[in-house]
């Protein structure tokens, strides 16, 4: 594609040089540039792409895009108001606008995105629209699965991946859309049909700094990216009105809203529900009438995820049979209240809960099941929002008979300093603090322990459990690694729990 053709999707661009040159590829990493490449010199958080212009040109770049003047010779230079936005729009055009001809669902919010994406995938499959899914766990369609380095990929990678998956036969797309990606315009080249808002609670404040900024990033999906257009005039927003931020989303959305709620008035509500250790049975009231569902998912927070997915099915005009089949055919999401099988009478669950709200949702659900004891293991990531650490400590200790504090991904922080921050939320509760050695003899009094090694902490949590107890291993979920310092090591909570269960004999 010629450079001038690519620039046609931008409302404002100043070209210096030849617009007739052929562009063979788009790049934002100078190390990846190949002959005929267009290089985007992005101003990043840790580095400035302008520093790597010479490397990009040596790699074969024939043109450069930037949002400030650049001194570079021998290549065409394009100056734009926002290089990231330009990259997103140009990537969509370069890869043939892969989202223009299939239904696209974007899901944003703090908690529930991944489970909701799996449920929507099931509904779309049952409705004859097999979906490509891009999210926290993987990017996948059919037999093609790739690891997900980011919830929402950089725009060039996103559009290339979408092109490949649509060409493989995907008839729809489901995307988790992160606040980081919205802030950085990564999904701006996507043409969404439906956008879902699940909830908003404290997270990522190391990046966004405050809740207003965090919310503003999420809101972009419903304002900037959801306005009806000639190509997609029937866009819809599916919004949780039980969340106060959801009320604000519904008021600001540029497309018609299909709302859902359990506690208040909405388009989609719950008439009857029964929660048990076997899952959820419910009767929903929808704009089309009543809909009965059964799911193996546990708890109230998963009913919210089900409501969101049903809302998408309704927004896309799919049948009640497809919605019911998609929900009831869903068995599990990796690392989302995932059971670790055993024959010892202990319920071991692995969950990704890594925010205060997510952890409270999981533990409140478990508490409703009234097990003899709840043992909760969790940690907080290093080099991330420190403010949530004591909050999570207090929540874990309040709901649990035994809370075990341990490492998550400490990264470059001192693990003991992270544990101290978490402990600060538990200390006011005046609970007994056990040593690891004391726990080897079991525990009878409500309390907590701090065990830095996650492997030792998992082993201890499993070994002190008795038949009937529920053990929740929280924070890492589907992740199969730990980041200690700047190195990544293999670590899987499910594998570690299974090994500890074998030790029990």
Predicted confidence (pLDDT) per residue in 465-502, tens digit? 999 999 999 999 989 999 999 999 999 999 999 999 99
> Cα–Cα distance between 482 and 496 in angstroms, integer?
13
Mean pLDDT (the chain, rounded): 93
**pLDDT band per the 50, 70, 90 thresholds, residue 148:** confident
> Cα–Cα distance between 195 and 198 in angstroms, integer?
10
Which among 107, 98, 84, 87 has a CA at the least distance from the CA of 160?
98
Tens-place pLDDT, residues 199-258 = 998 554 555 457 788 899 999 999 999 999 888 999 999 999 999 999 999 999 999 999
End-to-end alpha carbon distance in the chain: 64
Rg of the chain on CA atoms, in Å: 24
Q: Which two tokens mark 209?
A: 């700094």
Which among 279, 313, 316, 315 has a CA at the least distance from the CA of 296?
279
Q: In this predicted structure, which of 92-101, 294-303, 400-409, 481-490 has the lowest mean pLDDT?
A: 294-303
Which of 103-117, 349-363, 393-407 ranks highest by mean pLDDT?
393-407
| Average pLDDT of span 291-320 | 95
- Say yes or no to pLDDT of 331 above 90: no
> Phi/psi of residue 42, each to 5°?
-85, 140
Write the CA distances from 247 to 241, 250, 311, 312, integer angstroms: 5, 5, 16, 18
Q: Which two tokens mark 460?
A: 């201890």
CA triple 71-74-80, angle to 5 deg: 50
> Cα–Cα distance between 330 and 328 in angstroms, integer?
5
Q: In this predicted structure, which of 41-50, 121-130, 141-150, 429-438 has the lowest mean pLDDT?
A: 41-50
- Say yes or no to pLDDT of 314 above 70: yes
- Say yes or no to pLDDT of 286 above 80: yes
> Cα–Cα distance between 129 and 172 in angstroms, integer?
6
- Say yes or no to pLDDT of 149 above 80: no
> Cα–Cα distance between 422 and 445 in angstroms, integer?
20
Q: With left for phi above 0 and alpha for psi between -120 and 50, is residue 242 left, alpha or beta? A: alpha
- Kindly list the structural domains of the chain, giving each domain's residue range(s) and its CATH number in brackets, ordered by start: 3-94 (3.40.1390.10), 104-328 (3.40.1190.10), 338-504 (3.90.190.20)
Q: For position 151, what pLDDT does the model report?
A: 75
Which position has the higher pLDDT, 294 or 207?
Answer: 294
**pLDDT band per the 50, 70, 90 thresholds, residue 58:** very high
| Model pTM score | 0.82
Q: Which two tokens mark 477?
A: 């979920």
- Say yes or no to pLDDT of 283 above 90: yes
Kindly report the length of the chain: 505
Q: For position 208, what pLDDT does the model report?
A: 45
- The DSSP code sequence of 361-417 is HHHHHHHHT--S-EEEEE---TTS-STHHHHHHHHHHHH-SEEEE--S--BTS-HHH
Residue carrying structure tokens 């080099």: 383
Greatest Cα-to-Cα distance within the chain, rounded to the nearest angstrom = 77
Q: With left for phi above 0 and alpha for psi between -120 and 50, is residue 56 left, alpha or beta? A: alpha
- Say yes or no to pLDDT of 296 above 80: yes
Share of the chain above pLDDT 90, in %: 80
> Phi/psi of residue 322, each to 5°?
-65, -40
Residue carrying structure tokens 């040593």: 435
Tens-place pLDDT, residues 433-471 = 999 999 989 999 999 999 999 999 999 999 999 999 999
**pLDDT band per the 50, 70, 90 thresholds, residue 72:** confident
> Cα–Cα distance between 405 and 274 in angstroms, integer?
33
Tens-place pLDDT, residues 77-127 = 999 999 999 999 999 999 999 999 999 999 999 888 999 999 999 999 999
| SS3 assignment, position 260 | strand
Share of the chain above pLDDT 70, in %: 97
> Cα–Cα distance between 328 and 297 in angstroms, integer?
9
């Amino acid at each position: 594609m010629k450079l001038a053709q690519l620039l046609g999707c931008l409302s404002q661009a100043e070209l210096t040089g030849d617009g007739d040159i052929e562009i063979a590829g788009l790049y934002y990493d100078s190390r990846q540039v190949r002959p005929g490449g267009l290089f985007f010199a992005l101003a990043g958080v840790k580095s400035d792409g302008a520093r790597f212009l010479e490397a990009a040109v040596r790699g074969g770049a024939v043109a450069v895009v930037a949002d400030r003047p650049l001194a570079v010779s021998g290549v065409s230079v394009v100056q734009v108001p926002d290089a990231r936005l330009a990259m997103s729009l140009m990537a969509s055009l370069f890869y043939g606008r892969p989202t223009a001809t299939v239904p696209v669902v974007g899901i944003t919010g703090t908690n529930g995105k991944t489970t909701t994406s799996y449920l929507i995938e099931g509904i779309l499959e049952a409705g004859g629209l097999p979906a490509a899914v891009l999210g926290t766990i993987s990017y996948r369609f059919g037999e093609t699965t790739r690891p997900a380095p980011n919830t929402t990929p950089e725009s060039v990678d996103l559009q290339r991946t979408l092109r490949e998956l649509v060409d493989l036969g995907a008839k729809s797309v489901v995307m988790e859309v992160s606040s980081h990606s919205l802030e950085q315009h990564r999904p701006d080249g996507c043409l969404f049909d439906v956008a879902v808002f699940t909830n908003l609670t404290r997270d990522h404040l190391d990046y966004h700094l405050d809740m207003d900024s965090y919310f503003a990033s999420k809101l972009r999906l419903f304002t900037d990216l959801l306005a009806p257009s000639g190509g997609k005039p029937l866009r819809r927003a599916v919004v949780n009105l039980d969340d106060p931020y959801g009320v604000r989303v519904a008021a600001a959305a540029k497309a018609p809203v299909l709302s859902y709620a359990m506690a208040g008035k909405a388009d989609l509500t719950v008439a009857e529900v029964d929660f048990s250790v076997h899952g959820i049975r419910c009767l929903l009231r929808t704009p089309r009438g009543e809909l009965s569902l059964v799911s193996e998912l546990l708890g109230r927070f998963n009913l919210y995820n089900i409501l969101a997915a049903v809302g998408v099915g309704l927004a896309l005009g799919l049948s009640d049979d497809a919605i019911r089949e998609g929900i009831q055919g869903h068995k599990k999401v990796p690392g989302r209240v995932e059971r670790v099988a055993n024959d010892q009478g202990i319920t071991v669950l692995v969950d990704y809960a890594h925010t205060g709200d997510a952890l409270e949702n999981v533990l409140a659900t478990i508490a409703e099941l009234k097990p003899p004891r709840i043992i909760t293991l969790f940690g907080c990531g290093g080099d991330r929002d420190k403010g949530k650490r004591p909050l999570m400590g207090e929540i874990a200790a309040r709901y649990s008979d035994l809370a075990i504090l341990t490492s998550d991904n400490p990264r470059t922080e001192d693990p003991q300093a992270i544990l101290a921050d978490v402990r600060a939320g538990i200390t006011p509760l005046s609970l007994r603090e056990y040593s690891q050695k004391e726990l080897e003899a079991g525990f009878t009094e409500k309390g907590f322990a701090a065990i830095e090694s996650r492997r030792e902490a998992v082993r201890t949590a499993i070994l002190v459990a008795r038949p009937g107890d529920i053990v929740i291993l929280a924070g890492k979920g589907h992740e199969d690694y730990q980041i200690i310092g700047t190195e990544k090591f293999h670590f899987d909570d499910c594998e570690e729990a299974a090994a500890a269960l074998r030790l029990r004999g």
